[in-house]
Amino acid sequence: MGEFVRLEVADGVGTIRLDRPKMNAISVQVQRELREAAAEATERDDVRAVVVYGGERVFAAGNDVKEMADLSYTDMVKISASVQSAVTAVARIPKPVVAAITGYALGGGCELALAADIRIAADDATLGQPEVLLGIIPGAGGTQRLARLVGPSRAKDIIFTGRFVKADEALAIGLVDRLVPAAEVYDAAVAWAGQFTRAAAYAVRAAKESIDRGLEVDLDTGLEIERIQFAAAFATDDRTIGMRSFVENGPGKAEFRGR
């Protein structure tokens, strides 16, 4: 368990909890602890889905500007991989991941939310990539994941201007997937993640990898990724259980084992 990031597990759902007062600024230490928490969530068999959560007041207001202010170009060359790899570690968790967004998700905080499979946000949340207002650009995936999620023109508007995106606009453009009252954000995220605690874990994993890897390549290569993953699912116990249950009892009644 890290000082500022910890993995809490209950009933098959792991919560990666950011807790660095006051605004969950993402420092080099937080980046390291995010990688560690993501690795633990990946490895633990009792974690079937993951919630990323910054608490009731704020998701994460961005990377630690005070820590970066005096860095030179050569300093940043050394640590820029760390900035990206922390967010990528969350994106690569081979299980369903939901970001539970309260308050602000700005800069690196927005990039962390973009790494999740879906985003459930408070109806008064604010998101954005304001790095240009500091004379830099997003460095933890914002230029890439935001464009893939909301389209290049919307991403350019948000990133070029550095403007804040209110919750209702974020929902309209697909930056978040659902809005709920702030007090209900975490429970809603846990409820979504809880759907997968008894799912066919390797089928869900194969589906996630096929979608994510397919978005990185041309269509024919993506179809080949899907074909390989589809065939591989036939090596799992859950495939046998699922098909037998369907034939004998109809859809949606299989009791999967996660293997």
Q: Which residues have a catalytic role annotated?
A: 111, 131
Question: Using the 8-state DSSP alphabet, how is residue 73 labeled?
Answer: H
Note whether 127 and 105 are within 8 A (CB): yes
CB-neighbour burial class of residue 123 (10 A; exposed 0-12, middle 13-18, buried 19+) = middle
Note whether 239 and 231 are within 8 A (CB): no
SS3 1: coil
CB-neighbour burial class of residue 250 (10 A; exposed 0-12, middle 13-18, buried 19+) = exposed
Q: Among 180, 199, 195, 50, which Cα is nearest to 115's? A: 50
Number of Cβ within a 10 Å radius of residue 108: 30
Ramachandran bin of 55, using left for φ above 0, alpha for ψ from -120 to 50, beta for the remaining angles: left
Sign of CA dihedral 121, 125, 130, 134: negative
Question: Using the 8-state DSSP alphabet, how is residue 235 labeled?
Answer: G
| Torsion of the alpha carbons at 110, 112, 114 and 119, rounded to the nearest 10 | -90
Q: Which two structure tokens, joined as six digits, stand for 60?
A: 């994460």
In whole angstroms, give the CA distance from residue 121 to residue 143: 21
